[in-house]
Amino acid sequence: MSTEFLTLIVVAITFSLYIYIGWRAKAKDTKSFFVAGNDIPAIANGAAIAADWMSAASFISMAGLISFLGYDGTVYLMGWTGGYVLLTLLLAPYLRKFGRFTVPDFIGDRYYSNSARVIAVVATIIVSLTYVAGQMRGVGIVFSRYLQVDITTGIIIGMVIISFFSVVGGMKGITWTQVAQYSILMLAYLIPAVAISLKLTGIPIPQLALTFSDIAERLTGIQSELGFGEYIAPFQNLSKLNVFMVTMALMMGTAGLPHVIIRFYTVKTVRAARWSGVWAIIFIALLYTTAPTVGAFAKYNLIQSLNQQPIQQVREMDWVSKWETTGLLQIEDKNADGLLNISANEDTNELKIDHDIIVLSTPEVAGLRPIIIALVAAGGLAAALSTASGLLIAMSSAISHDLYYRIYKPDATEKERMLVARLVIFITVLIAGWFGINPPGFVGEVVAFAFGIAAASIFPALLMGIFDKRMNREGATAGMINGLVFTIAMILMMQSQQLFGTEKPMLDSFFGINAQGIGVVGMLINFATAFLASRGTPPPPKEIVQLVENIRMPSSD
C-alpha cells in the first residue's frame, strides 16, 4: 500500500470523525453559534483552546523556522508561549466576567462607543484574515503533497472542507471537533518525534535527547563546514533588537487575538475560564517543548541524507520526487558535477527547500513507516482546520453580531443573524483562500504579521479597558486607529516585494526593526495616543467606571 493511499485513508477517517462530531453538536441558535452556549467543561475547553492555538504555524512551520534559523528561531517559542500565559493571567478572567460574545462587544460597551466597536471589528477582520491565510497555505501544502496536486488546488480543497465545519457547526460544533483535532495533532507530532529521537540518539524522550545527547553539537559541526554557522549560536539571523521586538510582538499579539479570547466565553464561570487556561497551557506545552527537537533532528537528517549525494540518486528518492512535484523542493546542478551540494552560499547552493515542508517531510527523510507519515499529514490538517474554523467564527461573529445586530439592525431575528453569520464565513473563506494562494511569506511569518497587528490595535484597548478607569472612548478610538494604521503601513512597505512584486522592499526596516516586530512600535503608539487623548477629554461616565470596578472584583464562582 502506497504512502499516499494510506494517507488518504487516515485523513478520510479523521475527517469523518470531525464531520460526525460537528453535525451532532451543530449550532441551533446564536448563543450556540457564537459562544457554544457557555456550557463547555473546562478541560474540554482547554483542549479546544490548545487546538485553536496550535495552528499550521505551530505544527507545520514553527519547527521549520527553528530548523533554519537555529537559536534565533526560538523567538516564536518564547513569544507564543509567553503570550498565552499573559492572556490567561491578565485578561481572560476579566473578559469572561464581563460576559459578552466577542472582543468588539467588550470594546464597544466598555468605551460606550459604536465607533470604537467598528474599529475593533475592522481590527478583528484584518488580524483574522492575515492569520487564516497561513492556515489555508498549510492545508494547501499538505494536500499538494499527498494528493499530488499544486498548492492552489490543495487550498481550494481546504476551503471547501473548512466552510462545511464552520457554517454548519458554529462555535459549539467547532469546539467539540477541536477536542478531537487536538488529540490527533498531538499524536501526529509526538510519535514521529519519539521515533526519530530513538533513531538518532537512542533516547526516547525528544526533550531529553536534545539536552543530553550530542545531536546539537553534531549539527553545529556540519553546519559550520557548510558555511551556515553554529546552529546554537545566537543572533546570526536576527539582531538582538529584533529577537526582543519579535518576541514582544508575539506575546502582546497573543493576548489580543480575537479567536483565542472568544474561547473563554464558552465556559459557564470565571473559575472555569481560569481552569481552561491552565489546561490549555499544559496541552500546548506538549508540542512547544517538542518543536525545537523536531527542528534540530530534521535539519540534521536532511543534510546527512542529501549533501554530496549523486543528484540522480537523490531525485529517485520517493519523497524527493513527490515534493519536487509540488514545487516546494528544487534541485539544480549548478556546477554540473552530478553531486548535490548544500551550502550557505546562494551561488553554489543546489538545494532549495520551503521551510513549511520540514515537519511534513521529516518522517519520510528518516525512513519511518508509512502509517506515521500518514498520521503526520492528518495532524497537519487538524492543526490548520481547527485554527481556521476558530478564526472564521471570530470574523463571522464580529460582523454579524457587532455590526449587523448591535449597530445596523438591533431587532434582527435569530434566523437572520444566523444567516448573516454563515454568509460572512463563506465570503471570508474565499478571501482567505486568495491570501493563502498569494502569501506574503512562510506560514509562520504570515501568522507573525497577524500577531503584530493584534498587539498594535486590540491588546492595548483590552488592557486599558480593564486596568485604567480613566480611559475613555476618545482615547481608545484614537489609540486603536493610530496603532493599526502605523503597523499595517509598515508591514505593507517592508513586504512590498512579496505582496506587490516590487524590485525591492519599499522599506527594509524601521530603525532596524523588521516586519515581524513592528507591532511593538504600533502598540507603544497606541498606548501613548490613548493616554494623552483620554487625559485631554472628559472622563468616562460613572456607570462605566463602576463597570470596570466590578469586573476587577474577585469572583467567588
- What gap in Å lies between CA 129 and CA 399, rounded to an integer? 13
pLDDT value at 310 more than 80: yes
Q: How confident is the model at residue 439 (pLDDT cuts 50, 70, 90)?
A: low
Q: 160-203, pLDDT tens digit by residue?
A: 877 776 666 566 777 888 888 888 888 888 988 998 899 889 99
Q: Which domains does the chain have, with CATH numbers?
A: 3-300+367-551 (1.20.1730.10)
Q: How confident is the model at residue 33 (pLDDT cuts 50, 70, 90)?
A: low
- Name the most confidently modeled range: 281-295, 308-322, 461-475: 461-475
Proportion of the chain above pLDDT 90, given as a percent: 24
Per-residue model confidence (pLDDT) at position 456: 96
Find the mean pLDDT for residues 138-161.
Answer: 78
pTM of the model: 0.83
Torsion of CA 320, 322, 326, 330, to 10 degrees: 20
Per-residue model confidence (pLDDT) at position 253: 92
* Region for 342 from its dihedrals, namely left if φ exceeds 0, alpha if ψ lies in -120 to 50, beta otherwise: beta
- What gap in Å lies between CA 157 and CA 8, rounded to an integer? 14
pLDDT value at 552 more than 90: no
pLDDT value at 506 more than 70: yes
Rounded mean pLDDT of the chain?
85
Per-residue model confidence (pLDDT) at position 29: 65
Compute how many other C-beta atoms are within 10 angstroms of the C-beta atom of residue 286: 14
Find the mean pLDDT for residues 76-86.
Answer: 85
pLDDT value at 241 more than 90: yes
Find the mean pLDDT for residues 355-384.
Answer: 83
Using CB atoms within 10 Å of the CB of residue 407, give its burial: 0 to 12 exposed, 13 to 18 middle, 19+ buried: middle
Proportion of the chain above pLDDT 70, given as a percent: 93
- What gap in Å lies between CA 311 and CA 340, rounded to an integer? 5
Per-residue model confidence (pLDDT) at position 28: 65
pLDDT value at 219 more than 60: yes
